[in-house]
Structure formats: structure tokens, C-alpha cells
Amino acid sequence: MTFWAFLRRRECKNCKKEIRDLDSRICEESVFTSPGILAIILLSLSYTAIPQKRAVQPKIPHSKLKKGEMPLIGRRIKNRYYLLERLGEGGEGTVYLARDEELGKYWAVKRLSPDRREEVQALRKLSHSMLPQIVDYVQEEGCAYLVMEYIQGKTLEELRRKKPCSKKQVILWGIQLCQVLEYLHTRYPAVIHMDVKPSNILVTEQGELYLIDLGSCALSDGQSCRRRERRGTAGYAAPEQRRGEADCTCDIYGLGKTMEILVGGRMRAGRKLGKIIRKCQRPQKERRYQSCRELGRELGRLNERKRHHFWIVLLGLLGGILAGRTLVVQTVREENVQPEEVNVQEDFLDRYTKIQDQIHKGMLMEEGQARRLVFRQSEKELKELLDAAKSVREKIWLHLSLARVCREQNKEKEAAENYEWLIGKDWEKGSISSEYGMYLLEKGKREESQELYDRVCKDSGRYEGDLFKKWEEALNEK
């Protein structure tokens, strides 16, 4: 062995044998006997093998998945409704936003159990201005899907998380919800919502109220549900719902709990509203209000009493200074007037709801003489109701409805007059202006729409609503 070969000679640290590979420090035979090297090999194998095993997941049939195990986003229902995103969790499943690839519209789709065909057939016959329209029912691969009208807005749950709602607002919402629930309960067979709660009540940018998520509804023959199923949300469901028994008073229980949550608890509700809320939530259903009409009247009386309370006290005090008996006389007179005023308010709401139902039916009709007659009659009735309206809020509702009815009849001048009246009242100015501006663009009046946009931004600044942003995008398009 030469001197240079001796210097370059390397020995294995374990067995002292000569290593031919000068870059190695251990011979091939000692690799698997060295504890350090063995540990390195095992560690490297753990980093390479384990993720591969975890990435392989068994394929589970979609119809056998439990609720919440796999989202349906990206799936196409009936080869038509493409599910885009998750909107929220309903009483019996998740609600998704879907795009109708045939019509180009957006719908809300909820997955149901496949044995709900009878309830769905009853829901498709409903027509109310505070209910989303049911447009389709799909059964495929052992699942059922309810396709409903998609309504944009915020739920009362989102609003109350920011701060408790005022008692006056809660009472007004309660009166409106009593009307739509009374409509459901007076169908044949009666329709029970079964899941009345703040997250199922939606308010649009125009201030319109909707009772959504009809997927939990049940049918009743007047005594109890036809199917003994446990539906509803814990905390809002009546005690008998947990036993699979339910009737119309279950919705009254849920409405009472909803009003309690919205107002911030019974302590904030006050004595009179708190008394109504407690009666709604009696454990024994016989001790609750037996109809939503009865509950609506109680809330209406409370609303009227609050409206006139200031004037009663003021007139009573002035009268008490002039004559000791005037306070009592004034109070008695005011109490005697209240039932008539409540009846007037109920008559207005009844007539307004019927007109809205009529307009909604007209929207679903095909173009023709019958559709034109419906809108003509609706316009006439709205104008008659507007002449008799007393409060500003009632006039706002009527002017908004008139603007939309005139749009459907291509009465541009009358529609513009109603929109301008609403903008002048500064009520929901951003959403009303956006709706009016988009209407002007549809009619090819880009300059007038741009002038309206500049005027609104100058007077009130830029708004952040979705409809306002769409209006801006449409104006910026060339």
C-alpha cells in the first residue's frame, strides 16, 4: 500500500473494516446495526408513510352521510341547480344558495328526508307576502331537496347580537308574525312552522319581514300533527314538541321566546309585554293564547297604548290643574277609544296583506290580459288604502308597493313619482334609491340614473348595501 493510499484509507467506526466509498463513514453491513442511523431511517419513514395513509379516505355513499359530515357545495341537483355556498343551518338540515342554470336565477335549497312529499305539496300551495315561494321539489339518490325563493337581508338573530331591539320594534314585528302564522294555521290542513326563532326571521333592506325555512313545517288535522316527529330548536320548541306532539300553539310558544330574546330578556320587556311573553310560554298549551289572532290583538292594544300614553298623561295633568275630575274622565275616554283604533290597524294590515298576496300571484302569472287585470286592480286598491292611511309608516309601505305595481304596468311616470316621494321621506334612502336607479337603467335612462346617484351621494353620502354596490357597478359599465 502506497503512502497516499494509506492516508486516503478510511475505516468503519463500528466494525473497523475498510470502506471503499470515501464519502461514507459506516460500511453497508453496519448501517442497520447502528442505533443512530436506525433511528434516522425510522423517523424518515414516519414522515413519508403516515401522511400518505391519512390522505386516503374511504368513499361514503352521500345518502348515508350524517348531517354535517360532508357539504354539498359544488353539487348539481336535477342537473339544473348548482349549489354555490352554505347559507345557514336549518331545523332539519343545511340551507344552500343555488344557481338555476336554466333560468339564471338564484334559489335557496334545503335538503330534507325523502318522506316529506305530503308537506311539500301543501307548502307549494301557500301564497303570502311574508313567506318565500316554493318553486321546486327534487328527489334523487335517496335524498329530497326543497327549492325556495332566495331573499336577501339580515336575520333578527344578526340584528339582536349587535344590541337588544326596542320594545316598540319587537311589538310591531310580533304583530306581523302573528298575521303570517295565522295564515298558516288557517289552511286546510293547518301548516305549523315548528321552528319559529330569530334566525328564521329575515328583514330586507326595504324593511320587509319574512318568515323563512319552511323545511321544518308539519301538517295538522286540527288536533295534533299527522306525524309524531321531534322537530324544532332546543329553547324555542314547546315541551310537547320534544314528545313528538304539536299543534298551532307550538308556534305561539316559539314566537313568545323569540320576542323575549329580541327585547333582551323579560326584565327589559317590562310588565305588560313581559306578561304577554309569559303567557305565550306556558308549559301547558291550554294556558297559552289559543290563536295568533288573539295574540296579535293583545300586541296591537299594547302598541296603541304606548303610542297614546304621552298624550294621555299630558292632557290628564293639564285637566287636573283646571278641574280635579278631568284626569279620570280623559283616561276613561282614551280606554274606550282604544278597541276601535286597534280594529282600524288590524283592518289596514289585513287589507294590505291581501293586496300583497294578489300582487305576488300576478308576478307568477304569464304575460297576458289576466295579469294586467290583477295589477290594475291592485293599483286601485292600494290607492284607496293610501287615501285612508294615517301613519307615515303605512304610507311608506303603500307608496313602495305602488311603485312596483306601476313598474309592472310600464307606467314610468307614476313609478317615478312614488319613488321620489319615498326618497324625499329619507326612509331606507340607500336601498330605495338603488332600486329606482336600477329601474332607470333597465329603461335605458342612464343619464337620469347617474343624476340620481350623484344627488343621493351629495345629500347622504355613499351607502354600503349590496344593491347600492350593484347600482354603482352597473353605472360604471360601458
- pLDDT tens-digit map of 179-235: 999 999 998 889 999 999 999 999 998 889 999 988 888 888 765 565 556 678 889
Q: Which residues contact 59 (CB under 8 A, 6 or more apart)?
A: none
Q: Are residues 470 and 348 in the same domain?
A: yes
Domain with 334, as residue range(s), is 325-476
Do 367 and 424 lie in one domain? The reply is yes
The H-or-E segment that residue 77 falls in is: strand 76-77
CATH number at 206 reads: 1.10.510.10
200 and 138: one domain?
Answer: no
Range ranked top by mean pLDDT from 38-52, 120-134, 348-362, 453-467: 120-134
Whether residues 386 and 433 share a domain: the answer is yes
Q: Is the pTM of this model over 0.75?
A: no
Measured CA to CA, the distance from residue 72 to residue 41 in angstroms comes to: 42
The answer to whether residue 350 sits within a structural domain is yes
- Please count the structural domains in the chain: 4
- Sequence-separated (6 or more) residues with CB below 8 Å from residue 131: 180, 183, 210, 211, 214
Q: What's the gap between Cα 56 and its chain centre?
A: 38
Same domain, 273 and 218: yes
Helix (H) or strand (E) segment spanning residue 106 = strand 106-112
* Tens digits of residue pLDDT in 231-289: 788 899 999 888 888 889 999 999 999 999 999 988 889 899 999 999 999 999 999 99
Highest mean pLDDT out of 50-54, 306-310, 325-329: 306-310
Asked if residue 60 belongs to a domain, the reply is no
- How far apart are the C-alpha atoms of 418 and 401, rounded to whole Å? 9
Alpha carbon distance 462, 470 (integer Å): 13
Looking at the structure, do residues 331 and 395 belong to the same domain, yes or no?
yes
- Asked if residue 455 and residue 346 are part of one domain, the reply reads yes
pLDDT of residue 370: 83
Cis-peptide, bond into residue 189, ω within 30° of zero:
yes
Q: In the chain, pLDDT over 90 holds for what percent of residues?
A: 27
In angstroms, the CA 156 to CA 133 distance is: 20
| Shared domain check, 125 and 98 | yes
